[in-house]
Amino acid sequence: MTVIDANRMHEIETRYPEYFHRSFRQRFGGLMILIATLLYSLYAVWFFDLPKLFTEAHWERVGIYLSQWVSYDVQPEFRIEDDGSIDIRYPRFSPLGDNPHPDWLVNNPDGSITVSISGTSRNVTVSKSETIVTAHGISVPVDVSSGAPKVVGPVPGWMTVYDDNVLADLGFAGNVSISVDRVKIRKRFIGWANFIFDTQSSFFDKPVGEVVSLIVSGPRIKPDQSNLSLAFDDIWNNSEWQHGDVWTKLFQTIVMAFLGTLLGSLTAFPLAFLAARNITPNRLLNQILKRFFDFLRSVDMLIWALFLTRAFGPGPLAGSGAIFLTETGTLGKLYSEGLENIDNKPREGIKSTGAQTVLVHRYGIMPQIVPIFVSQTLYQWESNVRGATIIGAVGAGGIGLKLWEAMRTNANWENVAYMVILILIVVFIFDTASNALRHRLMGTKAH
C-alpha cells in the first residue's frame, strides 16, 4: 500500500486542479439539467392542459378508424311492408354488386329472415312483428308491432333504447338499428372489398381459377378485346379503388421530388462556390448569397407550395417549384459549408503549377466534395419523396391530394390505408437505394 504525504498531495492538486477544484457547473451541472427538464415537463403539462386533453379525447374513434383500415361493411336494410312481407334493399354502391345473394342471409319457412352477423353466436332474425338480436350468449326480442320499438325484458348493456329506435352494438362484427318499419344491419368483413375487380367488371365475383382460365384460354368476353387486356383495364379503372389514378398520382409525387431536388442541386452547386469564403474572397457576395439561402430555407416547403398554387394553379408544377426553392436554399447552405471545410493543400499544390482556375477546381476541389455533395443530395431527395406527399395535400398535386380527399370523406379509410401502404413502400425503396448509394460513394459499408 502506497502512502502519499501532504507535499505529494499538494503537488498532485497543483498539477491537476480540474480534478480537485471543480467548478459549480461541473459539480451540479447534471442535477441542474435534470431539475430544468422536470420543470419544463411540468410547464408543458400545464401549457397544453394535458389532463383535460386526455380525458376529453375521443379514444373510441381510434379503434373505429383502425378497424375501417382493414375491413369493409355491408348494409342491408329490411323494410317491413303493410302486408307483412319483408323487402330487402342494399345501398346503391354495395360491395356485393347489383344482385346480391349472400350465404349469410337465410329466408326462413315462416317468412322471417335470419342474418348471421358473426357465425352462429351473433345473428338477427327479422319478422313482421319482432326482431330478435342474439349476442353475448343471450337473445333479446324487440317488439315492433306497436307505435315504437320496445325491448321485451331487461335491456342489456350493449343495447341502447331511443324514442323511435333501438341500437344494438355488436362490436367489431357490426351493429343493428331497429325501428317500427325497418331494420338496418351493418355487417363487417375483414379485408378490402373488390380490390381487384369492381362490381361493374366482367370478372366480378368469379373464383380465381375461373378468372385465370378465362384470361389464359377462355373465349373472349368482348370480341374486339382480349381477356388479358380487358382484365387489365378493369383493374386499372376500378371505380372503387381507382388504381390507375392512385398509381398515376404516386408517380407524380416521385417525379415532383426528383425534379425539384435535381433543379435545386443544379442551381445550388454554382452558387455555393460563390458563397464559400475560401473559394470566392468577396465578403459582400458571400453574405448576400448566404442570406439568400437562409431566406429560401426559412420559408417552409408547405408555404412555398401555397404561394405557387395561387400563382400557377393546383398541380405538380407547383409542387416541383416548392421543392426546388426549398432545396436551393438547403443544398446551397450544405454545399457552401462543405466547400469551406475542404483541405486546401491539394488546391494550393495544383495552383502552384500555374493551372487555370477551372483546373484547380476540377482536380483540387471536386475529388473532395463530390462524394459529400452526392450523399447530401440523395438524402434530400429521399426526404423530399415524403415531403412531396405533404405538400400535395394543399393542392400541389400527387398522391398527397388524393390522400387528403379520401380522409376528408371520413368514410374511405380502407382507401387511405391503401395509399399509406403505397407511400411507405416507396419511401422504404428510396431509403434503401439512397443509403446504398451513399455508402458506396463514401466508401463505407451499409449496416
pLDDT given for residue 134 in this prediction: 92
Q: Number of folded domains in the chain?
A: 3
Q: Average pLDDT, stretch 114-122?
A: 86
CA distance 48 to 436: 42
- Phi/psi of residue 229, nearest 5 degrees: -65, -40
Give yes or no for residue 10 having a pLDDT over 80. Answer: no
CA distance 37 to 32: 8
Based on the domain organization, do 328 and 414 belong to the same domain? yes
- Which of 127, 157, 190 is the C-terminal boundary of a domain? 190
> Could you tell me the residue range of the domain that residue 24 belongs to?
6-47
C-alpha to C-alpha distances, 126 to 77, 90, 150, 175, nearest whole angstrom: 11, 16, 14, 14
pLDDT level of residue 78 (50, 70, 90 thresholds): very high
pLDDT given for residue 446 in this prediction: 54
In a domain, 68, yes or no: no
The cell numbers describing 296, all together, are 429560401
Query: Helices 243-275 and 413-442 sit at what angle, rounded to 10 degrees?
Result: 40
Show Cβ contacts of residue 367 under 8 Å, excluding neighbours closer than 6 positions: 346
In a domain, 229, yes or no: no
The helix, strand and coil proportions of the chain, stated in percent and rounded to the nearest 5, come to 55, 15, 30
- Which of 190, 216, 235 is the C-terminal boundary of a domain? 190
CA distance 175 to 183: 11
CATH of the domain at 272: 1.10.3720.10
pLDDT given for residue 260 in this prediction: 93
- Phi/psi of residue 151, nearest 5 degrees: -75, 125
Candidate from 49-63, 358-372, 433-447 with smallest mean pLDDT: 433-447
**Residues 250-268: b if buried by 16+ CB within 10 A, e if exposed:** bebbbbbbbbbbbbbbebb
Ramachandran bin of 165, using left for φ above 0, alpha for ψ from -120 to 50, beta for the remaining angles: beta
For residues 227, 231, 236, 241, the Cα torsion angle rounded to the nearest 10 degrees is 160
In a domain, 228, yes or no: no
CA distance 422 to 3: 72
Based on the domain organization, do 143 and 91 belong to the same domain? yes
Based on the domain organization, do 79 and 36 belong to the same domain? no
Show Cβ contacts of residue 85 under 8 Å, excluding neighbours closer than 6 positions: 111, 128
Give yes or no for residue 442 having a pLDDT over 80. Answer: no
89's enclosing H/E stretch is strand 86-89
pLDDT given for residue 13 in this prediction: 65
Q: pLDDT per residue over 200-241, tens digit each? A: 898 888 889 999 999 888 888 888 889 999 999 999 999 889
In a domain, 447, yes or no: no
Based on the domain organization, do 166 and 300 belong to the same domain? no
CA distance 170 to 178: 13
Show Cβ contacts of residue 437 under 8 Å, excluding neighbours closer than 6 positions: 374, 378
In a domain, 409, yes or no: yes
Q: What is the pTM of this model?
A: 0.78
Q: How many other C-beta atoms can be found within 10 angstroms of the C-beta atom of residue 390?
A: 18
CA distance 246 to 401: 10
Based on the domain organization, do 22 and 93 belong to the same domain? no
In a domain, 221, yes or no: no
Q: pLDDT per residue over 20-69, tens digit each? A: 666 667 777 788 899 999 999 999 999 888 888 888 888 877 877 888 88
Residues forming a β-bridge with 178: 166, 183
Based on the domain organization, do 27 and 90 belong to the same domain? no
pLDDT level of residue 251 (50, 70, 90 thresholds): very high
CA distance 276 to 335: 9
Based on the domain organization, do 78 and 35 belong to the same domain? no
Based on the domain organization, do 24 and 97 belong to the same domain? no
Based on the domain organization, do 397 and 323 belong to the same domain? yes
**Residue corresponding to grid cell 425503396:** 429
In a domain, 207, yes or no: no
CA distance 75 to 60: 22
In a domain, 65, yes or no: no
pLDDT level of residue 4 (50, 70, 90 thresholds): low
- Which of 157, 190, 223 is the C-terminal boundary of a domain? 190
pLDDT given for residue 9 in this prediction: 66
Based on the domain organization, do 85 and 39 belong to the same domain? no
Based on the domain organization, do 317 and 432 belong to the same domain? yes
Based on the domain organization, do 269 and 373 belong to the same domain? yes
